[in-house]
Amino acid sequence: MKHFFALSGLGLALLISSGVSADDSVIGYIKTISDETSIVENGKSVKAGLGSPIRIGNLIKTSEDGSAGLTLKDNTILSIGPNTEFKIDKYQFQPQNDQLELNASIIKGTLHYISGVIAKLKPDAVAVTTPTGVIAVRGTRFLVKIE
């Protein structure tokens, strides 16, 4: 009987470690949302909801009355306001390998940024591009509005 439980536990451990793993392409999630928000991935727009995953290259779009709050793996918090288009162009969060990078762009609308681990460990690795320039993160938070 002892062998059965040991083998069952081993089988469960193998199942958990091999088949049921998190999606490595997910870099964050939508944590708050109001009104209409969509995620455009590979040219296809999908309505976003609480817990929707965010991947590199996703364009997040809010409606005229919409807003969304995103939290990335490194605990960066991004709040986007109404009528906003925001995209994460590059993201690396592997501090054990010193691979840290967050490059994003805001096309229009508003963005409130609060630094996560990447900006704290390597501030020069974070940049937000706007239609008129680049914001290099040297503090812990900023707010930008593009009209």
For residue 137, the model assigns a pLDDT of 72
Residues contacting 31, CB < 8 A, separation 6+ = 50, 51, 69, 70, 71
Tokens representing residue 42 in the block? 């590979």
Residue 14: count of CB within 10 angstroms of its CB: 10
Torsion angle (degrees, nearest 10) of CA 137, 126, 70, 108: 70
pLDDT at 68: 97
Query: Which pLDDT score, from 0 to 100, does residue 10 have?
Result: 39
List the structure tokens of 69: 């709050």
pLDDT tens digit at each of 147 positions of the chain: 444 444 344 343 433 333 334 568 999 999 999 989 999 999 999 999 999 999 999 999 999 999 999 999 999 999 999 999 999 999 999 999 999 999 999 999 999 999 999 999 998 999 999 998 888 776 688 889 998
pLDDT value at position 131? 92
Give the whole-angstrom CA distance, residue 27 versus residue 47. 18
Specify the pLDDT at position 142. 87
